[in-house]
Amino acid sequence: MSRSFAELLPTPLDAQSLAELTPLSRVDDLLLLLERWVERGWLRALDRAFVAFLSELDPQADSLVLLAAALTSHQLGHGHVCLDLHETLKEPDFALSLPPEGDLQSGPMLLPSQLLVALDGGAWCQALAGSALVAQADDHSEAAAHRPLVLSGRRLYLRRYWSYERRIAAALRQRLAQQEAAPTDLAQRLDALFGKANPAPDALIDWQKLACALATRSAFSIITGGPGTGKTTTVVRLLALLQAPAVESGQPLRIRLAAPTGKAAARLTESISHQVQSLEVAENVRQKIPSDVTTVHRLLGSRPGTRHFRHHAGNPLPLDVLVVDEASMIDLEMMANLLAALPAHARLILLGDKDQLASVEAGAVLGDLCRDAEAGLYSPQTQAWLQAVSGEDLGKSGLQQGDATQFPLAQQVVMLRHSRRFVQGSGIGQLARLVNQQQAEDARALLAARSHNDLFALALKGEQDRSLERLLLEGLGQGTEGPQGYRHYLGVLADQRPAAGAALEDPCWTLWARSVLEAFDSFQLLCAVRKGPWGVEGLNQRITQALFNAGLIESDQHWYEGRPVLMTRNDYGLGLMNGDIGIALRLPERSTEEAGRQVLRVAFPRNDGSGGVRFVLPSRLNDVETVYAMTVHKSQGSEFAHTALILPESLNPVLTKELIYTGITRAKHWFSLIEPRQGIFDEALRRKVKRLSGLMLGL
């Protein structure tokens, strides 16, 4: 890291107030220390409140147990399902939010590393095992079921998350054991959809064809792959493969499509609707392949203000096949609820990029389940069956051989390996691969070479470097056909505005709004963090000011024409989803009495394949924020013609190769890397998200 934890301590640790504290022997002192951590932003208030609750449950609780509970709770906020006690003791400070964003305080502080310096992992586990608050993982007694913490070997869980993990593992084991009858003419049907296998020795393996084949024989399967590898194309053909025999028998399958967010659902809806129309199948089969995609929350029937859903084990979903796209964004709790609501006979197919960022909430379910995707680990029986039905030669695949008993899940996972978006010679494709493989030096050399016209790197000379504004406003200065900045969409807004006398009902307003929205999608700035000069909050203000100073927008305050906004939560009443982007535009007043008067309305794309636009009054939008800059997390499920990724000037816990990879792969045609300080990109690439879980035990 660029700053050591010692540097976070401006005064000696022997300050009187700290010297008098004995947090490992007195619970009151521990609670006081946790409160200080909360004040500094190192710990969440929720974590401290949880410990206070536990101390009330067990007034005799050991401070070591309560401290472990605080760190376990805090780790949930960082996406970890559990706390590995031995790993924590190697670097205890990483169990807190250190360094936090925007920590401006400067008082002395006691760190976990100083608190736990003499503690042994075995002794910590022993203290937990003897606590009335902690149940052993293999203890199924009624008394153990009421204990809030669960110890499994060296991993400590909050009971709810231990339960989620075990429920998922049990459900998947059951589904993997459930063999489905593949059509007797599967080989012919696959050839009809994909064509016959190319016998040439140098021919590429058709992984899409293999994915469809595998998915026909089990109640559970996963299709993973990077951008442009054809996940959507594959799933549409898979649905045709499953639905055709069912339609022919007079019993069509009930198929539902879902995605974790509204944005991802909208993108899949649009993509699938186009794919289904071009599918070469019988018309009665095509009509039974849905293109409408809903959110997982809406599918399950979320109940506002609760963690419960209308559909569950006692009221399962009325469907036969469920496809979930962007599955990397599904957290542990949601996956547990989804599996519980699936009827026993239904097939579940997960799509997603295993290398993207995991969900914001706890768990990295797709990453865990795709642990062996790269290696393959197909058994000789699986490999022989695949070759027989597909005609593909897996002998040239380079995959490792596995055992179906030892690796049951691997037999139902296919990784798509050939990108059609990033063609041979694509700088973006090469950079994404190098980042994914954590080859920092090669990635840096590729950027420095400037040998690809789809890659650009900007090294800033301080916070006030005006080259940043030039890139953000003007793009890369390669003309109208090159990578754009934010001046482009505002130019479209001004140049293509309909005549002032046109009525609101005139389709010219919708066409104009659609053009502005499409122009805005030609560029997007992505950030790793929210706070600070290189975070979303600071950069949105800076860009707004720069656009105002350049005379491109009429105001830099709140609502103005051209303001782009991002929905920050679902609004089912308006039909707008978390992640939807709209732009404020001046349109004619509806009332005939106010003819000629114009009012601001926010234009949102309908995202249903129709090309339509909906207009919403700003006063009806409560959960929106300006979106010249957005976090990489928020950008998942989106694509932009030109994407710029700006990194902070100091290393941050969120900076990992997964975040960089996700940012790069949001770019369709051009990618720009902006660095306030050299070296952060390289350091981030060397760090990999490692979310702790025990999900893969036995899968």
HEC assignment per residue over 193-239: HHCCCCCCCCCCCCHHHHHHHHHCCECEEEEEECCCCCHHHHHHHHH
Which has more confidence, 348 or 598? Answer: 348
Q: What is the mean pLDDT of the chain?
A: 86
DSSP assignment string, 679-698? THHHHHHT--------TTTT
Tell which residue, 105, 3, 90, has the closest CA to residue 651: 3
Residue range 58-84: mean pLDDT, rounded? 90
- Give residue 696's pLDDT: 67
| CB atoms closer than 10 angstroms to residue 272 | 24
Pairing of strands 598-605, 581-588: antiparallel
| 308 has a pLDDT exceeding 90 | no
Highest mean pLDDT among 111-115, 351-355, 361-365, 693-697: 351-355
Residue 107 confidence (pLDDT): 53
What is the structure's pLDDT at 670?
A: 92
The per-residue pLDDT for 9 is 42
Describe the strand order of the beta sheet including 523-527 as a list of residue ranges: 455-459, 667-675, 640-646, 523-527, 629-631
Q: Counting beta carbons within 10 angstroms of the beta carbon of residue 461, is it exposed (0 to 12), middle (13 to 18) or buried (19 or more)?
A: exposed
Question: What is residue 118's predicted lDDT score, i.e. its pLDDT?
Answer: 80
Residue 624 has pLDDT above 70, yes or no: yes
Measured in whole angstroms, the distance separating CA 300 from the mean position of its chain's CA atoms is 20
Residue ranges of the alpha helices (H) in 397-439?
427-436
Q: How much is the average pLDDT of 331-343?
A: 93
Residue 215 has pLDDT above 80, yes or no: yes
Identify the CA nearest to 316 among candidates 341, 336, 299.
341
Give the pLDDT score at 594. 56
Do residues 68 and 85 touch, judged by C-beta distance below 8 A?
yes
Alpha-carbon span 114 to 8, nearest angstrom: 13
646/465 Cα distance (integer angstroms): 14
pLDDT for position 109: 66
Q: What is the dihedral of CA 431, 436, 440, 444, to 10 degrees?
A: 10
pTM over the 0.85 mark = no
Residue 14 has what pLDDT? Answer: 45
Question: pLDDT tens-digit profile of 477-500?
Answer: 787 788 999 999 999 999 999 887
Partners of 604 in the β-ladder? 614
Q: pLDDT tier at 102 (50, 70, 90 boundaries)? A: very low
Judge whether residue 227 has pLDDT over 60.
Answer: yes
Q: Tell me the pLDDT band of 312, cut-offs 50, 70 and 90.
A: very high
211, pLDDT greater than 50: yes
pLDDT at 273: 83
- How high is the pLDDT of residue 678? 85
More confident residue, 66 or 374: 66
Residue 7 pLDDT: 43
Residue 218, token pair as written in the block: 């089990």
pLDDT band at residue 5 using 50, 70 and 90 as cut-offs = very low
d(CA 377, CA 379): 6
Going by pLDDT thresholds of 50, 70 and 90, the confidence category of residue 698 is low
**How far, in Å, CA of 54 to CA of 70, rounded?**
10
Give Cβ neighbours of residue 120 (< 8 Å, ≥ 6 apart): 89
Query: Does residue 108 have a pLDDT over 60?
Result: no
Identify which of 88-92, 181-185, 501-505, 562-566 has the greatest average pLDDT. 562-566
Instruction: Indicate left, alpha or beta for 100 from its phi (over 0: left) and psi (-120 to 50: alpha).
Output: beta
- For the stretch 375-397, pLDDT in tens is 898 999 999 999 999 989 888 88
**The two structure tokens encoding residue 495:** 């140049």
pLDDT in tens, 453-484: 889 999 988 888 889 999 999 988 787 788 99
Name the DSSP letter for residue 354.
Answer: T
Q: What pLDDT score was predicted for residue 50?
A: 95
Question: Quick one: pLDDT at residue 172?
Answer: 92
**pLDDT value, residue 511:** 92
pLDDT of residue 159: 94
Prior bond to 99 cis, omega within 30? yes
